[in-house]
Structures are given as C-alpha cells and as structure tokens.
Chain A
Amino acid sequence: MDTPKTMEAAHIGSSVVIKGELSGSEDLYIDGQVEGNIELKGNRLTIGPNGQIRADISAKNVVVHGKLEGNVQASERVELKNSAVAVGDIFAQKISIEDGAYFKGKVDIQKLEVSKPDLPASGKTNAAAASESVSGKSASATSPDSTLATANKTQVTEPNKI
C-alpha cells in the first residue's frame, strides 16, 4: 500500500474536510474528505483508505485506495486498489484495477501521441515536445513555492452519473 512519506508528498489527514478547488505541483496524499476539484498537473495523487473524494481530478498518476466519486483525467496512469470504490469516468494512458475494487463508469484509454521530426531543423523542438508528452508534465508554469492552494470557491462538482 502506498503510504505518504513526509518529504515526498503533501498529506491531508483523515480528519480534514476540504470543500472547493485544490491545486498544487507536488505529490499529494489524501486520507480525508475533499469535495470540489483537484488539479495536480504532472504530479501524483493518492487517495488513502479513509479518503472520500467527490471531485473531478486531473493529475499525472492517480492511486485510489478509498472512495472516489468524480471523473479522473490522468496524463499517465490510474490505479484502483482492492479497497477502492470509484464512480465516474477515467481517462488515462494506463489503468490497473485490483481484484476487489469496485468501479462504475467509463474507461477511455488515451493513446500516447509521439510526433516524429519531419525536418532536421525542427527535429529538436519536436523531440523536446514528445519527451514532455511522455513524461506527462504540464507545459504550464506551476507556482515556485509548490504549495497546495485551496480556493474558497466551493464549486461543488456534480458527480457524473453515467
């Protein structure tokens, strides 16, 4: 089981309740309740066994041990562990579902598109773009202090009922 390591991922404990938008540029482990939107472009989100999320999620990798209601957009991989209960659509390049996990929704595998250089002069640029695409890193700039930000918008996302 993935456990948070203090130096590697921010940690939201099981007693914490967040309503609103949550974004950041570091790995995040949530064992509490979050309602709204979660955006961790280029980073990993882990929902712990006590985690209860009602939110649309955008991240590089998403690992679910707890409960999730909302759509997931992962630039790389989604993992539903055996204790996971996930309701919503999943868009990712790869998905793994352990025996015992509950999933209700659609899986849409996004094929990796690697552009080939067509001209020697532009080859470097294209290769750089491809490399960025493979690593799943967002081209948009992230805040330098890379701390989590919670906005007070309380835009509760209605779960996508299929």
Chain B
Amino acid sequence: MATHSFMRLFRSAAVGGESTPSPSQNKQRFTRKSSGLTELGRVLRSEDSLCVLDIGSTSANNIRYLTDLGHKPYSEDLLDASTDTSLIVRDENGQQTIDTKRFLSENLTYSAALFDVVMCWNLADYMDESLVKPVVGRLWSVLKPGGALLAFFHTQEAGIDAPCYRYHILAPDTLEMQHIEAHKDARKGPAGTTQNSNPSGFRLQRVFNNRHIENLFRDFSSIKFFLTRDNIREVLVVR
C-alpha cells in the first residue's frame, strides 16, 4: 500500500516535471516533450506526400499537423476497435478469447508497404495481449521497407493504474496527452481491458521490458529507445 502511494506521488512529480499541465486545456490534459517524436519529425520533414498511419484515437491536431506538412494521414482507432464485444469467442477449452483472425480481417486492411510512418502511441500497453503480436506483424507488412514506427511503453514504475492517453501533436517535439475514456459499451474481458480501478478508463495490460520490446519488433531492422522521466519508454523502430 505504501509503495502504491509512493508511486502515485512519483507519478504526480513526473507530471509536474517533464509533463506540464496545459493551462488552456482541462485538468486531464498535459503536455510533454517527446524525443521520439522529434526524431520522427526529421523523417516527416524530409519529404512531403508521405503516407502516415495514426492508430491512436482520432486527433484533429495530428491530422492538421500532418496535412500542413503535405502528408496523407490515415486514422484508425485500433484500441477502440479491439473492444468490440462481438470479437469475443470461446476457444476449445471454453475460455473466452478474442477472434484475432476476424479482428485483422476488419482492421488494418491496407495494401502491403503502403505507409512511410506509423504512429502506434501506447497501443501495445492497453490492447488485449492476444492481439499485440498479430497487430505488430500486420504493421510490419503495411510499413514500407525503411518506414518508421513510433511506440510508447510504460515502465514498471508507472503502476498498474497508469491512465491511458491519446496523443495530440502540438509541435515537432511536443505532445499533448488527453485521458481516454472507454466507450460505455466497451468490452469487459476476457482480459478485462476496461476493468480497472478507474472504471471509465482502459487498463494497462502488461509492462514490457526492453527485451520484450526487442522481441516484439524483432522483424524490424532497427530499434531505438528514448528514456524519459515520466515512466514511459519511447521507441522508434524502422522496418
């Protein structure tokens, strides 16, 4: 219990340190500097008409930012799609599981090697475990060789009740984080994606360490970690 309280304090301190509340926004929005985004910005500014896939929650900021740079943004909220209750099936042991095959037949259905950049944000931390590897595999196939993918992962210190955020690009090195609330009809199980100490939010499903992350992206050609002070690892991988 004491550790839990300490972690809460630590998180609050981190929010006040690297991430700062945006005065113009409500209390659940914060801004933070992002080294991964800065690095990705070099790709985004190197040429125009890039195809960029954002698989976080719909963000007008991101669409505006990308179209201003002359790119073609694609938006698809995969975390929201993964909470579709109709995806739940029973396996041979009678256990509830997610129909991964159907999920991939309805989502991320792009032609191969279409995208130059994928913004994955913190999807892997909050998506049901059975979907993570298949989704990363699909992302590999829709990325062009040399294409870049930006993903965020919580560290152990973030704690199990780390809130799920959507990310809005404010500037080439700055993100605004907005707390995501699960839809009212969101799925509750099999892994209890929406069950949480904060019932209106998504639950952190697991914590990836560096080795897990390297394994997850083992088919990619390179991986770069950016450590931050707010318990998030930023990862930029290149196909």
List the interface of chain A (C-beta within 8 A of B).
Answer: 95-99, 101-109, 161-162
Q: List residues of chain A with CB within 8 A of the CB of B72.
A: 106-108
Q: Is the interface of A mostly helix, strand, loop or mixed?
A: strand
Does B7 reach chain A (CB closer than 8 Å)?
no
* Segment at the interface with A among B74-82, B199-207, B225-233: B74-82
CB distance from A65 to the nearest CB of B (A): 15
Q: Is the CB of A107 within 8 A of B60?
A: no
Does B109 reach chain A (CB closer than 8 Å)?
yes
CB distance from B226 to the nearest CB of A (A): 28
Choose from B58, B109, B110 the contact partner of A103 (Cβ within 8 Å).
Answer: B58
A138 to B110, CA, bound (A): 33
User: Given A107-B67, A161-B109, A97 and B58 touching (CB < 8 A)?
Assistant: yes
User: Given A102-B77, A103-B75, A162-B109, A109 and B67 touching (CB < 8 A)?
Assistant: yes
List the interface of chain B (C-beta within 8 A of A).
Answer: 58-60, 63, 67, 72-77, 80, 109-110
A162 to B72, CA, bound (A): 13
Q: List residues of chain B with CB within 8 A of the CB of A162.
A: 74, 76, 109-110
CB distance from B138 to the nearest CB of A (A): 13
Q: Is the interface of B mostly helix, strand, loop or mixed?
A: mixed
Q: Is the CB of A99 within 8 A of B60?
A: yes
Closest to B67 in A: A109
Which 10 A-B residue pairings sit nearest by Cβ, starting from the closest?
A: A97-B60, A109-B67, A103-B58, A106-B74, A104-B76, A103-B75, A107-B73, A107-B63, A161-B109, A108-B72
A161 to B76, CA, bound (A): 11
Q: List residues of chain A with CB within 8 A of the CB of B76.
A: 104-105, 162
A109 to B72, CA, bound (A): 8
Q: List residues of chain B with CB within 8 A of the CB of A95.
A: 63, 67
Closest to A100 in B: B58
Q: List residues of chain A with CB within 8 A of the CB of B77.
A: 102, 104
CB distance from B35 to the nearest CB of A (A): 27
Q: List residues of chain A with CB within 8 A of the CB of B80.
A: 102
Closest to A99 in B: B60
Q: Looking at B59, B73, B75, B80, which has the most chain A CB atoms within 10 Å of its CB?
A: B75
Q: List residues of chain B with CB within 8 A of the CB of A104.
A: 75-77
Q: List residues of chain B with CB within 8 A of the CB of A108.
A: 72
A105 to B67, CA, bound (A): 14
CB distance from A80 to the nearest CB of B (A): 8
A105 to B53, CA, bound (A): 9
A162 to B55, CA, bound (A): 13
User: Given A107-B72, A107-B75, A96 and B60 touching (CB < 8 A)?
Assistant: yes
A95 to B59, CA, bound (A): 12
